[in-house]
Structure 1
Amino acid sequence: MIKLLYKTPLLILLMCFISTVSKAQLGFNYAQYDFGLGAVANRVIGDAESIKTTPAAFVNFTYNHSPFVNYVVEIQAGSMEGGKPESESGRYFKNIYKTIVFRGQLQAGELIDYSGSQLMNFAKNIYLSSGFGYIVNDIRDVNRTSTDPNHYGYYTGGEDKSSELYIPVRLGYEIKIFNQYNEPSTKIDLGAQYNYVFGDNVDGFNAGRSKDKFIQYSIGVKFALGGYTSAGKQIHY
């Protein structure tokens, strides 16, 4: 009887250990923190008459509340450019900018059952994201006066240095790469992001009634940092 009392707790502990190991092997574990970096293509929809595509780079830090619910803090730096001095308005700008942004991110895998379907398993990594950002504008090159014969001398005012709040709305896809324990250790992030700015100085011009917007297309890679924990359902199929 005494031996049985000693053996029972040991058996319970052994079963718990086996259950934990099995769960890890089935792909339930994930890192709570990621570090990422990547590249961006920018297009400004503002007061200049033509749009150009310009580059930027970013680094970010992600807290993973679950494998499919994420909170991202990102720092970005690069350029935005648009317009031509020979256009009717003469508007041309080049903005060397910096931003910091916070986004919450919801992936489809948090909402759908993807265990029995290849299509749903693919769709689980589609995400929507939004939050708020802060941009610091530094207009390094600008033309505000028209030389067009029909609009000669027409001048558009604006600020060379400014800072503004904006709202990012992002649609993306996260390709998860798993290690030998079926844990998502590396992630390739593809995204398209629309940014609504509360001011009108991203392009250095104060013109019209509409605020500035800019669109970004990005590719990035994230690396798991650790703090591993278990998900409520299997991640890898």
Structure 2
Amino acid sequence: MDTKSSSSQRRAVVLLSGGLDSAVLAYRLSAAGWRLTTLTFNYGQTHRREIQYAWRTAAALSGVTHRVVNLGDITDLLAGSALTDSAVAIPDGHYTDTSMRATVVPNRTAIMLGIATAHAIATHAQAVAFGGRAADPTIHPDHRPEFVTAYERATRAGNDGYLHPDFRLLTPFTDSTKADIVAEGVTLRVPFADTWSCYKGRAWHCAACGACVARREAFFVAGVPDPTEYEQP
């Protein structure tokens, strides 16, 4: 589906993490005329900074309904990830490092998409959207086209007769790099300083974890000034 054609009647449920990619996605869809409900998930993250920044993104967009979904009760079921288990250290380094596997939350995207799809059915929305990139390293198989295709097929089979006739799972950044997304965000005037990427959740971005390294690299490659406040070495 072409997310750039406009229609004020179209409605989408967007996964809004508080990060850079999902912020640009929300701005893209809003600019294209979609009526948005944005969902942010509290799944027991070791910090809540990204939830605060998701509120900032949603508040900056006109006509957006924003909801925080509390999944805190499932945290114990997601043990073993550095993002949900305080006993697991958050690794520093690049996303391509094997150590970054420690930051994967089991089945997180499918859990969130399932809830977003249920809400889309309840509100008669035509789409669910998330900012997954196949250009992500292999530690994120739930961003690959194979997953997106399989999930949409399963969703149609499991909700036959209930989904909106025009329902689509929108993943417009599948073939994009993070630098591509930064470049598009500049065009859309996304306030990047109001997004959060760091895994550590301190006062400023740590500049060392995989998410920070990827963020800094994206701005550099895109040739865009990075407004992020990083901790000084």
Q: Which TM-score applies when normalising by structure 2? A: 0.28
Q: Which protein has the bigger helix share? A: 2
Which of 1 and 2 has greater Rg? Answer: 1
TM-score for both structures, normalised by structure 1: 0.28
